[in-house]
Structure 1
Amino acid sequence: MVDKKGFKAGYVAVLGRPNVGKSTLINQVLQQKLSIVSHKPQTTRHQILAIYHNPKGQIVFLDTPGIHNQKKTALNKQLNQTARSSAQEVDVILHLVEAGQWHDEDRRATEIVMSGGGQKILVINKVDLVDEKSELLPFVDNILINFSYDEVFYISALKNKQVDHLVSRLLNMLPESPPLYDPSFISDRSTRFFVSELIREQLTLRFHQELPYSLTVTIDAYEPEESITHIHATIWVEREQQKRIIIGRGGAAIKQVGVKARAEIEDFIQSRVNLKLWVKIKSAWTDDQQALDGLGYKEP
C-alpha cells in the first residue's frame, strides 16, 4: 500500500523533433520496451502513456511523435497535433534536444513547448557523442537567449547517464497526490496495440530505405490459449509495388519480418506465439483522415 503522505504524482510530456531520443529515454526509465525505436522519423506515431512507479511517487510520461516540418499529409498533420496537444495541461514538459544539433524542427518544437503548460526542462541528450564537453555550454546558452526554461539537464538516455538524477528531480517537481493509476499499470495502451507496434518496428528496420512511412499494422485476431497465443495481423501499404517489396521473392522478406517480430512479441507477452501476417493495399491512406481513423490513428 502506498503511503499517501508526501507521495507525488503527475504528468510529464516528452517533446522534441524526431530522433532526439524521446522513446529511448522512456524505455530506459521504465526498464521496459514500451515505445519502438529506430533511426527513422515518424517511428513514434501515437501518444503513449508510460507509467513509472516509485515508493516516493508516480510519473505518467507522455511519449509523443517527433515534431517535424515534413509535407502536409493527413498523417503528418495528425502527428504534430498529437505532440502539440500533449503539451497542454501537464505538470512538466521535457524538451529533448540532441547535443550540438539545432535545426528548424528544434525551433518549432521549442515554440510548442513554450506554448504548453507546466514547468519546462531542457534536456540535452546524447552528450556521450560530444568529445569536447566544453562546447555544450555555448550551445545551450544560444538556446536560452531566446527561450526560457526552468532547468537544464545533460543526459545520455541510451547509455543511462544522469537519467536517475533527472527522474529524481521530476518526482520532486510533481504535486503531492495519490497515484493516478493502479501500480500494476505500465501504460494506458492495450497489449494488441503494443503487438502491432512491435511488428511495425521490424518492418521499419527491414524496409527503412524503401517504405518506412507508407506502412502500418492492424491486429485482426489476438487469441491467447494455455500454451500459445495466436495472432493474425495485416500490414497496410499504399501501392502494389510496396506490397511486393514486403512479401519479397517467394515470401522470403515477410517470413524474415515474421520471425523477428514473433521473437519480440514472445518476449513482451511472455508466451509462445503463432504469428500470421497478411499484406493489403489501402490507397493513399496516409492522406485520408477517414482511413487514418479506421487504422487506429484516432487518438483516445
Structure 2
Amino acid sequence: MTNENLEINPERSEYTIPLAPEGFKSGFVAIIGRPNVGKSTLMNQLIGQKIAITSPVAQTTRNRLQGILTTAEAQIIFVDTPGIHKPHHELGKVIVKNALSAIDAVDLVLFLVDSSVEAGGGDRFIVDVLENTDTPVILGLNKSDQQPENFLAIDATYAEISEANNWDSIKFSALTGTGLEQLQNLLIANLEPGPYYYPPDLVTDQPERFIMGELIREQILLLTRQEIPHSVAIAVEKVEEEEHITRIYATINVERKSQKGILIGKGGSMLKEIGTAARQQIQKLIAGKVYLELFVKVQPKWRQSRLTLAELGYKIEE
C-alpha cells in the first residue's frame, strides 16, 4: 500500500513517471452507484489512505475525485463519483451530470450496490443507464458484512441483473476489507496493457487544498448530521507553510443564518469541535502540525446559482 506520510501534491517537481514494464496494465475505473453504498470507503480502502470523505449522511461526495492505486502489475485510477439520484436543486443536477459523464470517459465501470438489501428502483435506474454504454461493467456487491441470514434472496436480485447484462459480479466488504484482494485482481484482469499515467507514489490527482476542504466538510456532516445536511461548501482561503506548523484559513459557506448559528454553536462550541476534529485529520494528511482557523459565511441559495457553484469548485465536467 501507499506511504501514509506521502505529501499529496501533483505539482511537486520531484515526481517522475517511469516507463512501465512489459505486461503492465493501467486504466481508469469509475465507481458508480446510488448514494451511500460505500463508494468513498471502498476507494480509501483500496488505496490505503484517506482521500475521499465518508459519512452516514447520503450524498457525501460531490466532485469526481480520482484516487490512484499502483501495484507491481498495474496502475488503477479510480474515479469516485457522486451517488446517482434524482436531483432537487442546481447542485444536484451538476452532481448527477458529472457522475453520468464519467461512465463513457473511463475504461471500466465498477457498479457498486448495497448487498444488505435487495436491488431497488435506484439500482435499476443505473442499470438502464449502463445498458446504453459500451464501457465494460463489473457489479460489486458491497457491505457483505451487513447481510442478513436470508441473504440468498437478496443476492438473487443482483444475480438477475448481472446475468441479464453478462456482467461479472463479486461480493466484498469495503468496511472490513473482506474480498478486496479478489476485487482488485478482477479489476486488473479487466484492464488492458498500458503505461503509468501518474507517478507510482501519487495517491490522488487532487491538490492538497481540496482534500483539506473535504476533511473539514466531513466533520461538519458527522457532527451536525441532519441539521446541516448538504447546504455547506468549504473554501480554503489561505495556506501558510512555516517550518514547524502549517496555518490554514477556511470559510464555511451556508445558505441561512440559522445554519450559521448551528455551526458556531453556543459560545462557539460547535465550531471549535469541528475545527479540532478537522485539524486532527489534516495533520494525518500532511504529517505535520496544523493551525486551523474557520469562518462561517452566509451565501443565500448558493446551491441554485451556477456562478456561485463554479466559484466554490462545483463545475460540470465535460
Distance 1:225 1:117 in 2: 50
* Corresponding position of 2:40: 23
Query: Which of the residues 172, 176, 184 maps onto 2:201?
Result: 184
* Corresponding position of 1:237: 254
* Corresponding position of 1:95: 111
What is the one-letter code of the residue matched to 2:199? D
* Corresponding position of 2:150: 132
Cα deviations by residue, 1:265-290 (Å, 9 ceiling, x for unpaired): 00111110010000001110011111
Matches within 5 A, 1:162-201: 162-201=179-218
Distance 1:149 1:46 in 2: 30
Distance 1:152 1:89 in 2: 21
Distance 1:272 1:173, change over 3 A: same
Secondary structure, aligned partner of 2:62: coil
| 1:148 matches 2:172 | no
Distance 1:140 1:105 in 2: 13
Question: What is the Cα-based RMSD across aligned positions, in Å?
Answer: 1.5
> What is the count of residue pairs matched by the alignment?
298
Identity %: 38
Query: Which of the residues 277, 289, 293 maps onto 2:306?
Result: 289
Distance 1:115 1:14 in 2: 17
Moved over 6 A (4+): none
Query: Which of the residues 221, 237, 244 maps onto 1:204?
Result: 221
* Corresponding position of 1:42: 59
* Corresponding position of 2:15: none
Residue 3 of structure 1 deviates from its aligned partner by: 4.8
* Corresponding position of 2:294: 277
- Structure 2: runs of 5+ lacking an equivalent: 1-17
Secondary structure, aligned partner of 1:220: strand
What is the one-letter code of the residue matched to 2:99? A
Contact 1:87 1:112 in 2 (8 A): no
Distance 1:144 1:168, change over 3 A: closer
Contact 2:26 2:75 in 1 (8 A): yes
Distance 1:3 1:179 in 2: 6
Distance 2:238 2:298 in 1: 19
With the length of structure 2 as denominator, give the TM-score of the two structures.
0.90
Residue 299 of structure 1 deviates from its aligned partner by: 5.0
| 1:74 matches 2:90 | yes
